[in-house]
């Protein structure tokens, strides 16, 4: 089949939607299908040389025009729901959100609790496709240690380096770890190493201000794929403090690399780690996060427990598992549209 993947992220972007589109293309090509990634349906749809047999749209709201066009043409349609869809757009643009759900033959959610944010009448369309680690980049990735971020020396200088990996934007609550670090006792060896690009000059200014106020906090900017992997491999643990997530790829990558996680107790995190995962903290609560950090630093048994759980979850995030779930979703969409 010819499968068109619609992603709002441009080629070369490090945005999560682009990484997901690249993985999907790899899975589809490996299964014998042809696949193209576009930002808009009209870029290749309707071509005599390349007729579209199925469309996968990443992001219900930002992809709503592609969704409408695929539906108009009667093309089987898979819609992948993102965190912004779940926790923001369905409230700010309810009519458009419901139209996307109605139009889809299959709805993909990226974690086990996605159904809690989707009206019950659409549950029969829902499938879970958990994200695995990235396969490829459209720009040349550097090897670990090749960037100018000073990452290697920062890791080496800390007795307990803590990774935060996420762009500086509101949904990520990006400075919660920095605020928690301010509450740590002076004798703590924890250093917060934050990798992520700023979505505006205001966010960058805030990051620099946090660094000046909190010597334990280091904003590294956007790292290469190689340096990000190095950080996850060598960090004592990773923090994800988001207020909304559709099922963050960085959680699966941390688990795959054996890095334990401290996570805000939102559905997008609990749907990957488990509702009873012991490393959860109340969203937006730096005091609770500080308590978790201090426990990890002072109680090796607790940190080992988190590590063991995350390593055990790694089997949920393999490329083979994601590929199987994606291909099943495409097959279901094709059957449903007949």
Most confident of 82-96, 127-141, 314-328: 314-328
Question: Which residues, other chains included, contact 314 with Cβ-Cβ below 8 Å and sequence gap of 6+?
Answer: 255, 256, 258
For the stretch 289-311, pLDDT in tens is 999 999 999 999 999 999 999 99
Is pLDDT at 51 greater than 50 in this prediction? yes
Angle at which helix 300-313 crosses helix 286-298, to 10 degrees, equals 100
What span, in angstroms and rounded, lies between the C-alpha atoms of 73 and 65?
12
Q: Measured between alpha carbons, how far is residue 210 from residues 179, 182, 203, 319 in Å? A: 8, 10, 11, 37
Is pLDDT at 149 greater than 70 in this prediction? no
- Nearest alpha carbon to residue 129 among 335, 332, 337: 332
């Amino acid at each position: 089949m010819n499968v068109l993947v619609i992603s709002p992220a441009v080629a070369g972007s490090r945005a999560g939607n682009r990484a997901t589109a690249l993985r999907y293309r790899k899975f589809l090509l490996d299964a014998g299908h042809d696949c193209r990634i576009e930002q808009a349906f009209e870029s290749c749809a309707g071509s005599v040389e390349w007729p579209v047999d199925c469309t996968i749209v990443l992001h219900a709201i930002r992809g709503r025009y592609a969704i409408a066009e695929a539906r108009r043409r009667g093309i089987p349609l898979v819609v992948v729901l993102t965190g912004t869809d779940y926790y923001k757009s369905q409230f700010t643009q309810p009519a458009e959100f419901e139209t996307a759900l109605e139009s889809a033959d299959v709805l993909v959610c990226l974690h086990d609790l996605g159904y809690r944010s989707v009206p019950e009448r659409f549950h029969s369309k829902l499938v879970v496709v958990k994200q695995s680690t990235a396969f490829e980049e459209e720009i040349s990735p550097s090897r670990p240690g090749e960037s100018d971020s000073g990452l290697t020396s920062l890791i080496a200088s800390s007795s307990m380096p803590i990774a935060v990996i996420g762009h500086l934007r509101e949904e990520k609550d990006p400075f919660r770890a920095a605020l928690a670090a301010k509450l740590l006792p002076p004798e703590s060896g924890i250093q917060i190493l934050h990798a992520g690009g700023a979505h505006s000059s205001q966010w960058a200014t805030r990051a620099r201000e946090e660094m000046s106020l909190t010597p334990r906090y280091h904003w590294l900017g956007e790292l290469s794929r190689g340096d990000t992997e190095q950080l996850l491999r060598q960090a004592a643990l990773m923090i994800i403090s988001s207020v909304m997530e559709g099922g963050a790829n960085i959680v699966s990558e941390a688990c795959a690399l054996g890095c334990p996680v401290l996570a805000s107790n939102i559905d997008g995190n609990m749907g990957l780690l488990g509702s009873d995962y012991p490393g959860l903290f109340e969203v937006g609560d730096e005091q609770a996060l500080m308590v978790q950090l201090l426990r990890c630093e002072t109680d090796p048994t607790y940190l080992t427990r988190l590590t063991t759980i995350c390593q055990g979850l790694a089997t949920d995030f393999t490329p083979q598992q994601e590929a199987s779930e994606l291909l099943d979703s495409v097959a279901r969409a094709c059957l449903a549209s007949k």
